[in-house]
Amino acid sequence: MNKIPSNIMALASNTSNKRETVCIFGTGDFGRALGHKLIQSGYPVVFGSRSTQTSGLIPKDAEVLNHAEAAQKAAIIIIAIQRQHYNFLAPLADILHGKILVDISNNLKINQYPESNAEYLAQIVPGAKIVKAFNTVSAWALQSGTLDASRQVFVCGNDMGAKQMVMDIVRALSLTPLDQGSLLAAQEIENYPLQLFPMWKFPILLSLGLTIFFFFYCLIRDVIYPYVYENKNFSFFLAISIPNRICPILALILLALVYLPGVLSAIIQLYRGTKYRRFPDWLDKWMLCRKQLGLVALAFASLHVLYTLVIPIRSFVRWRISTYIVSQALNNKTEPLDTTNAWLSDSYLALGILGFFFFVLLGITSLPSVSNNVNWREFRFVQSKLGYLTLLLCTAHTLVYGGKWFLSPTSYRWYLPSAYMLSLIVPCIVLVVKFVLILPCLDKPLTQIRQGWERNPRYSE
Ligand code: NAP
Protein backbone atom coordinates (compact mmCIF):
# COMPACT_ATOMS: atom_id res chain seq x y z
CA MET A 1 0.00 0.00 0.00
CA ASN A 2 1.27 3.53 -0.71
CA LYS A 3 2.33 5.50 2.32
CA ILE A 4 1.09 9.08 2.27
CA PRO A 5 3.78 11.46 3.60
CA SER A 6 2.94 13.63 6.59
CA ASN A 7 2.96 16.90 4.63
CA ILE A 8 0.39 15.39 2.27
CA MET A 9 -1.74 14.10 5.16
CA ALA A 10 -1.73 17.63 6.57
CA LEU A 11 -3.02 18.98 3.27
CA ALA A 12 -5.69 16.30 3.04
CA SER A 13 -7.05 17.01 6.49
CA ASN A 14 -6.99 20.75 5.99
CA THR A 15 -10.27 21.20 4.21
CA SER A 16 -11.63 24.44 5.55
CA ASN A 17 -9.64 27.42 6.78
CA LYS A 18 -6.15 27.84 5.43
CA ARG A 19 -5.29 26.01 2.28
CA GLU A 20 -1.85 24.52 1.67
CA THR A 21 0.60 26.19 -0.64
CA VAL A 22 0.60 25.06 -4.26
CA CYS A 23 3.75 25.39 -6.32
CA ILE A 24 3.64 26.06 -10.06
CA PHE A 25 6.70 25.53 -12.22
CA GLY A 26 6.63 27.95 -15.16
CA THR A 27 5.28 31.46 -15.35
CA GLY A 28 3.90 31.09 -18.87
CA ASP A 29 0.28 31.58 -19.96
CA PHE A 30 -1.12 28.51 -18.26
CA GLY A 31 0.98 28.79 -15.09
CA ARG A 32 -0.12 32.40 -14.55
CA ALA A 33 -3.79 31.69 -15.32
CA LEU A 34 -3.87 28.71 -12.95
CA GLY A 35 -1.96 30.67 -10.29
CA HIS A 36 -4.48 33.48 -10.53
CA LYS A 37 -7.42 31.07 -10.15
CA LEU A 38 -5.75 29.25 -7.23
CA ILE A 39 -5.12 32.52 -5.37
CA GLN A 40 -8.77 33.51 -5.95
CA SER A 41 -9.78 30.17 -4.41
CA GLY A 42 -7.67 30.79 -1.32
CA TYR A 43 -4.49 28.85 -2.10
CA PRO A 44 -1.11 30.47 -1.41
CA VAL A 45 0.85 30.12 -4.66
CA VAL A 46 4.56 30.00 -5.19
CA PHE A 47 6.03 30.00 -8.69
CA GLY A 48 9.22 28.13 -9.59
CA SER A 49 10.84 29.98 -12.46
CA ARG A 50 14.15 30.41 -14.26
CA SER A 51 13.92 34.10 -13.41
CA THR A 52 12.91 35.18 -9.91
CA GLN A 53 12.02 38.69 -10.98
CA THR A 54 8.29 39.28 -10.76
CA SER A 55 6.54 41.01 -13.61
CA GLY A 56 3.20 42.78 -13.89
CA LEU A 57 1.73 39.66 -15.49
CA ILE A 58 2.34 37.38 -12.50
CA PRO A 59 -0.45 37.46 -9.89
CA LYS A 60 0.72 39.97 -7.29
CA ASP A 61 0.03 37.78 -4.26
CA ALA A 62 2.26 35.00 -5.58
CA GLU A 63 5.87 34.45 -4.65
CA VAL A 64 8.43 33.79 -7.40
CA LEU A 65 11.46 31.68 -6.46
CA ASN A 66 13.90 29.43 -8.24
CA HIS A 67 12.67 25.91 -8.87
CA ALA A 68 14.45 24.23 -5.93
CA GLU A 69 13.30 26.80 -3.35
CA ALA A 70 9.75 26.85 -4.67
CA ALA A 71 9.50 23.04 -4.65
CA GLN A 72 10.47 22.92 -0.98
CA LYS A 73 7.50 25.12 -0.04
CA ALA A 74 4.75 22.81 -1.33
CA ALA A 75 3.66 19.20 -1.48
CA ILE A 76 1.96 19.66 -4.82
CA ILE A 77 3.84 21.03 -7.81
CA ILE A 78 2.06 21.79 -11.03
CA ILE A 79 4.40 21.52 -14.01
CA ALA A 80 3.23 24.28 -16.39
CA ILE A 81 6.07 23.71 -18.81
CA GLN A 82 6.22 22.10 -22.26
CA ARG A 83 7.31 18.44 -22.30
CA GLN A 84 10.48 19.13 -24.31
CA HIS A 85 11.91 21.09 -21.33
CA TYR A 86 11.23 18.39 -18.69
CA ASN A 87 14.95 17.45 -18.59
CA PHE A 88 15.65 20.37 -16.27
CA LEU A 89 13.70 18.45 -13.58
CA ALA A 90 16.26 15.58 -13.42
CA PRO A 91 18.75 17.45 -11.17
CA LEU A 92 15.82 18.33 -8.86
CA ALA A 93 14.86 14.65 -8.41
CA ASP A 94 15.93 14.55 -4.74
CA ILE A 95 13.90 17.63 -3.79
CA LEU A 96 10.92 16.34 -5.74
CA HIS A 97 11.06 12.89 -4.12
CA GLY A 98 7.64 12.03 -2.59
CA LYS A 99 6.01 15.21 -3.95
CA ILE A 100 2.95 15.23 -6.13
CA LEU A 101 3.80 16.43 -9.64
CA VAL A 102 0.83 17.44 -11.74
CA ASP A 103 1.42 17.07 -15.46
CA ILE A 104 -0.83 19.41 -17.42
CA SER A 105 0.92 19.24 -20.77
CA ASN A 106 -0.50 18.68 -24.22
CA ASN A 107 1.09 17.74 -27.51
CA LEU A 108 0.79 19.06 -31.04
CA LYS A 109 -0.20 15.73 -32.60
CA ILE A 110 -2.19 12.68 -31.51
CA ASN A 111 0.18 9.98 -30.12
CA GLN A 112 3.15 12.26 -30.83
CA TYR A 113 5.46 10.32 -28.49
CA PRO A 114 5.57 6.58 -27.72
CA GLU A 115 4.69 7.26 -24.08
CA SER A 116 2.44 9.91 -22.58
CA ASN A 117 3.99 13.12 -21.25
CA ALA A 118 2.95 12.11 -17.74
CA GLU A 119 4.71 8.74 -18.02
CA TYR A 120 7.77 10.51 -19.43
CA LEU A 121 7.72 12.82 -16.39
CA ALA A 122 7.54 9.73 -14.14
CA GLN A 123 10.69 8.39 -15.84
CA ILE A 124 12.58 11.64 -15.23
CA VAL A 125 11.47 11.99 -11.59
CA PRO A 126 10.91 8.36 -10.50
CA GLY A 127 10.44 9.20 -6.79
CA ALA A 128 7.53 11.60 -7.39
CA LYS A 129 3.81 10.85 -7.54
CA ILE A 130 2.65 11.84 -10.96
CA VAL A 131 -0.93 12.93 -11.60
CA LYS A 132 -2.27 14.00 -14.99
CA ALA A 133 -4.84 16.80 -14.85
CA PHE A 134 -5.98 20.18 -16.24
CA ASN A 135 -4.77 19.57 -19.81
CA THR A 136 -8.29 19.92 -21.27
CA VAL A 137 -8.84 23.34 -19.65
CA SER A 138 -7.47 26.32 -21.56
CA ALA A 139 -5.49 29.16 -20.00
CA TRP A 140 -7.94 31.60 -21.58
CA ALA A 141 -10.95 29.90 -19.96
CA LEU A 142 -9.22 29.90 -16.57
CA GLN A 143 -8.27 33.54 -16.89
CA SER A 144 -11.57 34.88 -18.20
CA GLY A 145 -13.71 32.75 -15.92
CA THR A 146 -15.88 31.50 -18.83
CA LEU A 147 -15.54 27.85 -17.95
CA ASP A 148 -19.08 26.83 -18.77
CA ALA A 149 -18.09 25.10 -22.01
CA SER A 150 -15.91 22.55 -20.25
CA ARG A 151 -15.82 22.31 -16.51
CA GLN A 152 -14.60 18.75 -16.67
CA VAL A 153 -11.04 17.98 -15.65
CA PHE A 154 -9.83 14.48 -16.48
CA VAL A 155 -7.55 13.17 -13.75
CA CYS A 156 -5.43 10.01 -13.68
CA GLY A 157 -2.54 8.70 -11.63
CA ASN A 158 -1.21 5.61 -9.89
CA ASP A 159 -1.25 7.01 -6.33
CA MET A 160 -4.81 7.21 -4.99
CA GLY A 161 -3.96 9.71 -2.23
CA ALA A 162 -2.16 12.04 -4.63
CA LYS A 163 -4.98 11.82 -7.16
CA GLN A 164 -7.55 12.57 -4.47
CA MET A 165 -5.68 15.70 -3.41
CA VAL A 166 -5.44 16.98 -6.98
CA MET A 167 -9.17 16.34 -7.36
CA ASP A 168 -9.81 18.39 -4.19
CA ILE A 169 -7.96 21.30 -5.78
CA VAL A 170 -9.96 20.85 -8.98
CA ARG A 171 -13.19 21.02 -6.96
CA ALA A 172 -11.98 24.09 -5.07
CA LEU A 173 -11.59 25.82 -8.45
CA SER A 174 -15.28 25.07 -9.15
CA LEU A 175 -14.36 22.48 -11.77
CA THR A 176 -15.50 18.87 -12.00
CA PRO A 177 -12.82 16.19 -11.67
CA LEU A 178 -13.37 12.97 -13.62
CA ASP A 179 -11.22 10.10 -12.38
CA GLN A 180 -9.93 8.22 -15.42
CA GLY A 181 -7.92 5.62 -13.51
CA SER A 182 -4.20 4.95 -13.55
CA LEU A 183 -1.45 6.80 -15.39
CA LEU A 184 -2.00 4.42 -18.33
CA ALA A 185 -4.97 6.63 -19.23
CA ALA A 186 -2.72 9.67 -19.63
CA GLN A 187 -2.09 9.17 -23.35
CA GLU A 188 -5.80 9.09 -24.08
CA ILE A 189 -6.38 12.18 -21.92
CA GLU A 190 -3.57 13.96 -23.78
CA ASN A 191 -5.24 13.10 -27.08
CA TYR A 192 -8.65 14.57 -26.08
CA PRO A 193 -7.86 18.22 -26.84
CA LEU A 194 -6.41 17.26 -30.24
CA GLN A 195 -9.47 15.45 -31.50
CA LEU A 196 -11.64 17.27 -34.00
CA PHE A 197 -15.30 16.26 -33.55
CA PRO A 198 -14.39 12.55 -33.62
CA MET A 199 -18.00 11.36 -33.41
CA TRP A 200 -19.13 13.73 -36.16
CA LYS A 201 -16.60 12.67 -38.78
CA PHE A 202 -18.52 9.66 -40.14
CA PRO A 203 -22.00 11.32 -40.16
CA ILE A 204 -20.66 14.45 -41.85
CA LEU A 205 -18.60 12.60 -44.46
CA LEU A 206 -21.48 10.24 -45.17
CA SER A 207 -24.01 13.05 -45.58
CA LEU A 208 -21.55 14.95 -47.77
CA GLY A 209 -21.08 11.89 -50.01
CA LEU A 210 -24.85 11.27 -50.20
CA THR A 211 -25.55 14.96 -50.88
CA ILE A 212 -23.12 14.97 -53.82
CA PHE A 213 -24.58 11.74 -55.21
CA PHE A 214 -28.20 12.87 -54.98
CA PHE A 215 -27.37 16.35 -56.26
CA PHE A 216 -26.00 14.94 -59.53
CA TYR A 217 -28.76 12.33 -59.67
CA CYS A 218 -31.47 15.02 -59.45
CA LEU A 219 -29.54 17.30 -61.79
CA ILE A 220 -29.52 14.61 -64.48
CA ARG A 221 -33.19 13.66 -64.01
CA ASP A 222 -34.80 17.02 -63.32
CA VAL A 223 -32.67 19.53 -65.25
CA ILE A 224 -30.59 17.82 -67.95
CA TYR A 225 -33.25 15.32 -69.10
CA PRO A 226 -36.02 17.95 -69.71
CA TYR A 227 -33.46 20.16 -71.44
CA VAL A 228 -32.34 17.38 -73.80
CA TYR A 229 -35.76 15.83 -74.55
CA GLU A 230 -38.22 18.70 -74.10
CA ASN A 231 -35.93 21.71 -74.63
CA LYS A 232 -37.10 23.11 -71.28
CA ASN A 233 -34.78 25.18 -69.14
CA PHE A 234 -35.33 24.13 -65.52
CA SER A 235 -31.90 25.26 -64.33
CA PHE A 236 -33.58 27.38 -61.61
CA PHE A 237 -34.46 24.06 -59.92
CA LEU A 238 -30.91 24.21 -58.54
CA ALA A 239 -31.96 26.89 -56.04
CA ILE A 240 -34.94 25.33 -54.27
CA SER A 241 -36.42 22.27 -56.00
CA ILE A 242 -33.28 20.12 -55.95
CA PRO A 243 -32.21 21.07 -52.39
CA ASN A 244 -35.79 20.35 -51.33
CA ARG A 245 -35.49 16.89 -52.86
CA ILE A 246 -32.07 16.17 -51.36
CA CYS A 247 -32.93 17.29 -47.80
CA PRO A 248 -35.84 14.90 -47.14
CA ILE A 249 -33.99 12.07 -48.89
CA LEU A 250 -30.95 12.52 -46.66
CA ALA A 251 -33.08 13.00 -43.55
CA LEU A 252 -34.84 9.69 -44.22
CA ILE A 253 -31.73 7.69 -45.16
CA LEU A 254 -29.71 8.99 -42.20
CA LEU A 255 -32.59 8.33 -39.80
CA ALA A 256 -32.77 4.76 -41.11
CA LEU A 257 -29.00 4.46 -40.67
CA VAL A 258 -29.48 5.34 -36.99
CA TYR A 259 -31.59 2.20 -36.58
CA LEU A 260 -29.82 -0.12 -39.03
CA PRO A 261 -26.90 -1.01 -36.67
CA GLY A 262 -29.45 -1.94 -34.00
CA VAL A 263 -31.12 -4.51 -36.25
CA LEU A 264 -27.75 -5.75 -37.54
CA SER A 265 -26.51 -6.28 -33.97
CA ALA A 266 -29.72 -8.17 -33.15
CA ILE A 267 -29.18 -10.46 -36.17
CA ILE A 268 -25.54 -11.04 -35.16
CA GLN A 269 -26.54 -11.86 -31.57
CA LEU A 270 -29.26 -14.24 -32.72
CA TYR A 271 -26.85 -15.94 -35.09
CA ARG A 272 -24.09 -16.28 -32.49
CA GLY A 273 -26.52 -17.13 -29.67
CA THR A 274 -24.60 -14.92 -27.24
CA LYS A 275 -24.02 -11.28 -26.40
CA TYR A 276 -20.56 -12.00 -24.97
CA ARG A 277 -18.69 -11.68 -28.24
CA ARG A 278 -17.57 -8.35 -29.58
CA PHE A 279 -19.24 -6.85 -32.62
CA PRO A 280 -17.00 -6.06 -35.57
CA ASP A 281 -15.15 -2.75 -35.12
CA TRP A 282 -17.07 -0.98 -37.88
CA LEU A 283 -20.39 -1.83 -36.18
CA ASP A 284 -19.13 -0.62 -32.79
CA LYS A 285 -18.03 2.68 -34.32
CA TRP A 286 -21.29 3.04 -36.22
CA MET A 287 -23.31 2.48 -33.02
CA LEU A 288 -21.27 5.10 -31.19
CA CYS A 289 -22.15 7.85 -33.66
CA ARG A 290 -25.89 7.15 -33.92
CA LYS A 291 -26.78 10.29 -31.99
CA GLN A 292 -24.74 12.43 -34.37
CA LEU A 293 -26.28 10.68 -37.39
CA GLY A 294 -29.73 11.41 -35.97
CA LEU A 295 -28.91 15.08 -35.37
CA VAL A 296 -27.60 15.52 -38.93
CA ALA A 297 -30.79 13.83 -40.16
CA LEU A 298 -32.86 16.27 -38.08
CA ALA A 299 -30.94 19.21 -39.59
CA PHE A 300 -31.85 17.99 -43.10
CA ALA A 301 -35.48 17.46 -42.06
CA SER A 302 -35.64 21.02 -40.69
CA LEU A 303 -34.23 22.40 -43.95
CA HIS A 304 -36.87 20.42 -45.86
CA VAL A 305 -39.57 22.06 -43.71
CA LEU A 306 -38.17 25.53 -44.44
CA TYR A 307 -37.85 24.88 -48.18
CA THR A 308 -41.41 23.54 -48.23
CA LEU A 309 -42.79 26.62 -46.50
CA VAL A 310 -41.65 28.89 -49.34
CA ILE A 311 -43.23 26.79 -52.11
CA PRO A 312 -46.42 28.91 -52.41
CA ILE A 313 -44.43 32.13 -52.98
CA ARG A 314 -42.21 30.67 -55.71
CA SER A 315 -42.68 32.34 -59.06
CA PHE A 316 -42.67 28.97 -60.89
CA VAL A 317 -45.43 27.60 -58.64
CA ARG A 318 -47.54 30.76 -58.98
CA TRP A 319 -47.09 30.62 -62.76
CA ARG A 320 -48.20 26.99 -62.87
CA ILE A 321 -51.34 27.65 -60.79
CA SER A 322 -52.35 30.71 -62.81
CA THR A 323 -51.74 28.87 -66.11
CA TYR A 324 -53.96 26.03 -64.89
CA ILE A 325 -56.75 28.45 -63.89
CA VAL A 326 -56.52 30.34 -67.19
CA SER A 327 -56.64 27.09 -69.20
CA GLN A 328 -59.80 26.07 -67.31
CA ALA A 329 -61.32 29.49 -68.01
CA LEU A 330 -60.41 29.32 -71.71
CA ASN A 331 -61.90 25.85 -72.01
CA ASN A 332 -64.89 26.98 -69.96
CA LYS A 333 -64.52 23.85 -67.89
CA THR A 334 -63.95 23.28 -64.18
CA GLU A 335 -62.04 20.19 -63.16
CA PRO A 336 -64.03 18.23 -60.53
CA LEU A 337 -62.34 17.66 -57.19
CA ASP A 338 -60.32 14.45 -57.27
CA THR A 339 -61.04 13.02 -53.82
CA THR A 340 -58.37 10.32 -54.12
CA ASN A 341 -55.77 12.97 -54.85
CA ALA A 342 -57.06 15.15 -52.02
CA TRP A 343 -56.75 12.20 -49.64
CA LEU A 344 -53.24 11.38 -50.82
CA SER A 345 -52.10 14.99 -50.55
CA ASP A 346 -53.58 15.49 -47.06
CA SER A 347 -52.24 12.15 -45.81
CA TYR A 348 -48.83 12.97 -47.21
CA LEU A 349 -48.80 16.31 -45.36
CA ALA A 350 -50.22 14.88 -42.13
CA LEU A 351 -47.61 12.08 -42.07
CA GLY A 352 -44.86 14.61 -42.73
CA ILE A 353 -46.04 16.92 -39.93
CA LEU A 354 -46.29 14.08 -37.41
CA GLY A 355 -42.96 12.59 -38.53
CA PHE A 356 -41.22 15.94 -38.12
CA PHE A 357 -42.84 16.49 -34.70
CA PHE A 358 -41.49 13.17 -33.38
CA PHE A 359 -38.15 13.82 -35.07
CA VAL A 360 -37.83 17.08 -33.11
CA LEU A 361 -38.86 15.26 -29.93
CA LEU A 362 -36.09 12.72 -30.52
CA GLY A 363 -33.59 15.53 -31.06
CA ILE A 364 -34.64 17.27 -27.84
CA THR A 365 -34.35 14.10 -25.77
CA SER A 366 -30.83 13.52 -27.05
CA LEU A 367 -29.69 16.82 -25.47
CA PRO A 368 -27.61 16.04 -22.36
CA SER A 369 -29.70 18.40 -20.21
CA VAL A 370 -32.82 16.36 -21.06
CA SER A 371 -31.34 12.85 -21.30
CA ASN A 372 -29.67 13.33 -17.89
CA ASN A 373 -33.10 13.86 -16.37
CA VAL A 374 -34.77 10.70 -17.63
CA ASN A 375 -34.03 7.19 -16.48
CA TRP A 376 -32.63 4.48 -18.75
CA ARG A 377 -36.05 2.96 -19.49
CA GLU A 378 -37.56 6.34 -20.41
CA PHE A 379 -34.56 7.16 -22.61
CA ARG A 380 -34.81 3.81 -24.39
CA PHE A 381 -38.55 4.25 -24.83
CA VAL A 382 -38.09 7.60 -26.55
CA GLN A 383 -35.03 6.68 -28.63
CA SER A 384 -36.23 3.23 -29.64
CA LYS A 385 -40.05 3.15 -29.72
CA LEU A 386 -40.58 6.78 -30.71
CA GLY A 387 -37.58 6.51 -33.01
CA TYR A 388 -39.11 3.65 -34.97
CA LEU A 389 -42.45 5.46 -35.02
CA THR A 390 -40.68 8.50 -36.51
CA LEU A 391 -38.99 6.31 -39.11
CA LEU A 392 -42.33 4.68 -39.94
CA LEU A 393 -44.12 8.03 -40.29
CA CYS A 394 -41.35 9.54 -42.43
CA THR A 395 -41.18 6.45 -44.65
CA ALA A 396 -44.97 6.50 -45.07
CA HIS A 397 -44.77 10.25 -45.85
CA THR A 398 -42.32 9.48 -48.68
CA LEU A 399 -44.33 6.49 -49.95
CA VAL A 400 -47.54 8.54 -50.13
CA TYR A 401 -45.62 11.36 -51.87
CA GLY A 402 -45.23 9.02 -54.82
CA GLY A 403 -48.99 8.43 -54.70
CA LYS A 404 -50.44 7.01 -57.87
CA TRP A 405 -47.17 7.48 -59.76
CA PHE A 406 -45.19 5.27 -57.45
CA LEU A 407 -43.43 2.62 -59.56
CA SER A 408 -45.17 3.94 -62.70
CA PRO A 409 -42.94 3.48 -65.80
CA THR A 410 -43.51 7.15 -66.79
CA SER A 411 -41.61 8.29 -63.71
CA TYR A 412 -38.39 6.73 -65.04
CA ARG A 413 -36.05 9.01 -66.96
CA TRP A 414 -33.11 7.42 -68.70
CA TYR A 415 -34.09 4.28 -66.74
CA LEU A 416 -33.47 6.22 -63.53
CA PRO A 417 -36.24 6.03 -60.94
CA SER A 418 -37.16 9.16 -58.95
CA ALA A 419 -34.63 9.98 -56.24
CA TYR A 420 -37.23 9.59 -53.50
CA MET A 421 -37.67 5.94 -54.52
CA LEU A 422 -33.99 5.29 -53.86
CA SER A 423 -34.35 6.95 -50.46
CA LEU A 424 -36.94 4.34 -49.47
CA ILE A 425 -34.63 1.33 -49.85
CA VAL A 426 -32.76 1.53 -46.51
CA PRO A 427 -35.75 2.62 -44.37
CA CYS A 428 -37.94 -0.13 -45.81
CA ILE A 429 -35.25 -2.76 -45.15
CA VAL A 430 -34.85 -1.52 -41.54
CA LEU A 431 -38.60 -1.49 -40.89
CA VAL A 432 -39.21 -4.92 -42.43
CA VAL A 433 -36.30 -6.53 -40.54
CA LYS A 434 -37.41 -4.83 -37.31
CA PHE A 435 -40.93 -6.13 -37.86
CA VAL A 436 -39.56 -9.66 -38.30
CA LEU A 437 -37.38 -9.28 -35.19
CA ILE A 438 -40.32 -8.37 -32.98
CA LEU A 439 -42.13 -11.58 -33.88
CA PRO A 440 -42.30 -13.61 -30.64
CA CYS A 441 -40.31 -16.53 -32.09
CA LEU A 442 -37.30 -14.20 -32.53
CA ASP A 443 -37.97 -11.57 -29.89
CA LYS A 444 -38.02 -14.12 -27.06
CA PRO A 445 -34.57 -15.68 -27.71
CA LEU A 446 -33.12 -12.23 -28.43
CA THR A 447 -34.38 -10.90 -25.10
CA GLN A 448 -32.90 -13.95 -23.35
CA ILE A 449 -29.56 -13.45 -25.10
CA ARG A 450 -29.53 -9.79 -24.04
CA GLN A 451 -30.19 -10.92 -20.48
CA GLY A 452 -27.08 -13.11 -20.56
CA TRP A 453 -28.37 -16.46 -21.84
CA GLU A 454 -26.00 -18.33 -24.20
CA ARG A 455 -26.86 -21.06 -26.71
CA ASN A 456 -23.47 -22.73 -26.26
CA PRO A 457 -22.07 -21.45 -22.95
CA ARG A 458 -18.28 -21.19 -23.03
CA TYR A 459 -17.93 -21.61 -19.28
CA SER A 460 -20.21 -24.43 -18.16
CA GLU A 461 -20.97 -24.56 -14.42
P1 NAP B 1 4.28 28.93 -22.27
O2 NAP B 1 3.47 30.16 -22.23
O3 NAP B 1 5.21 28.72 -23.41
O4 NAP B 1 5.06 28.82 -20.90
C5 NAP B 1 5.88 27.78 -20.58
C6 NAP B 1 6.81 28.19 -19.44
O7 NAP B 1 7.77 27.16 -19.32
C8 NAP B 1 7.61 29.42 -19.71
O9 NAP B 1 6.92 30.58 -19.38
C10 NAP B 1 8.82 29.21 -18.85
O11 NAP B 1 8.59 29.68 -17.52
C12 NAP B 1 8.95 27.70 -18.77
N13 NAP B 1 10.08 27.27 -19.62
C14 NAP B 1 10.27 27.50 -20.92
N15 NAP B 1 11.43 26.92 -21.33
C16 NAP B 1 11.96 26.31 -20.25
C17 NAP B 1 13.12 25.55 -20.05
N18 NAP B 1 13.98 25.29 -21.05
N19 NAP B 1 13.36 25.08 -18.83
C20 NAP B 1 12.51 25.31 -17.82
N21 NAP B 1 11.38 26.04 -17.95
C22 NAP B 1 11.10 26.53 -19.14
O23 NAP B 1 3.34 27.67 -22.26
P24 NAP B 1 1.89 27.53 -21.62
O25 NAP B 1 0.88 27.90 -22.63
O26 NAP B 1 1.82 28.19 -20.30
O27 NAP B 1 1.79 25.96 -21.43
C28 NAP B 1 2.46 25.32 -20.38
C29 NAP B 1 2.03 23.86 -20.34
O30 NAP B 1 0.62 23.82 -20.14
C31 NAP B 1 2.30 23.14 -21.64
O32 NAP B 1 2.74 21.85 -21.38
C33 NAP B 1 0.95 23.10 -22.32
O34 NAP B 1 0.80 21.96 -23.15
C35 NAP B 1 0.01 23.02 -21.12
N36 NAP B 1 -1.33 23.56 -21.39
C37 NAP B 1 -1.48 24.82 -21.86
C38 NAP B 1 -2.77 25.31 -22.10
C39 NAP B 1 -2.99 26.72 -22.56
O40 NAP B 1 -4.16 27.10 -22.80
N41 NAP B 1 -1.96 27.51 -22.73
C42 NAP B 1 -3.89 24.49 -21.88
C43 NAP B 1 -3.70 23.21 -21.39
C44 NAP B 1 -2.40 22.75 -21.15
P45 NAP B 1 9.68 30.51 -16.72
O46 NAP B 1 10.17 31.58 -17.66
O47 NAP B 1 8.96 31.01 -15.53
O48 NAP B 1 10.79 29.55 -16.36
**Cα–Cα distance measured from residue 174 to residue 170, given in angstroms and rounded to the nearest whole number:** 7
The answer to whether 370 and 395 have CB atoms below 8 angstroms apart is no
CA of 49 to the centre of ligand 1 (A): 11
The answer to whether 423 and 288 have CB atoms below 8 angstroms apart is no
pLDDT band with cut points at 50, 70 and 90 for residue 10: very low
CA of 50 to the centre of ligand 1 (A): 12
Interval 319-372: pLDDT, tens: 999 999 999 999 998 888 889 889 999 999 999 999 999 999 999 988 878 877
- pLDDT score of 395: 96
| Global pTM value | 0.72
Query: Looking at domain 22-194, which CATH architecture does it have?
Result: 3-Layer(aba) Sandwich (3.40)
395 three-class SS: helix
- pLDDT score of 360: 96
CA of 170 to the centre of ligand 1 (A): 20
Closest atom, ligand 1, to C-alpha of 31: 26
- pLDDT score of 401: 84
- pLDDT score of 6: 46
For the CA atoms of 433, 438, 442, 447, the dihedral, rounded to the nearest 10 degrees, stands at 120
Which of 46, 55, 82 has most ligand 1 atoms within 8 Å of its beta carbon, as the pocket-test mutant? 82
**Cα–Cα distance measured from residue 151 to residue 170, given in angstroms and rounded to the nearest whole number:** 10
pLDDT band with cut points at 50, 70 and 90 for residue 127: very high
Does the pLDDT of residue 388 top 50, yes or no? yes
pLDDT band with cut points at 50, 70 and 90 for residue 403: low
The reply to whether ligand 1 has any atom less than 6 angstroms from the CB of 35 is: no
pLDDT band with cut points at 50, 70 and 90 for residue 148: low
The reply to whether ligand 1 has any atom less than 6 angstroms from the CB of 112 is: no
State the maximum Cα–Cα separation within the chain, in Å, rounded to a whole number. 105
The reply to whether ligand 1 has any atom less than 6 angstroms from the CB of 144 is: no
CA of 121 to the centre of ligand 1 (A): 15
The reply to whether ligand 1 has any atom less than 6 angstroms from the CB of 118 is: no
Rounded to an integer, the average pLDDT of 162-188 is: 95
Closest atom, ligand 1, to C-alpha of 64: 47
Break the chain into its structural domains and give their ranges.
Answer: 22-194, 198-451
Q: Whose CA is nearest to atom 37 of ligand 1?
A: 30
Beta bridge partners of 23: 46, 77
The reply to whether ligand 1 has any atom less than 6 angstroms from the CB of 29 is: yes
CA of 143 to the centre of ligand 1 (A): 15
**Cα–Cα distance measured from residue 384 to residue 378, given in angstroms and rounded to the nearest whole number:** 10
pLDDT band with cut points at 50, 70 and 90 for residue 14: very low
Closest among 157, 169, 137 to 44, alpha carbons compared: 169
Rounded to an integer, the average pLDDT of 92-120 is: 95
Interval 36-62: pLDDT, tens: 999 999 999 999 999 988 777 888 889
In degrees, rounded to 5, the angle at the alpha carbon of residue 203 between the alpha carbons of residues 107 and 380 is 105
Beta bridge partners of 4: none
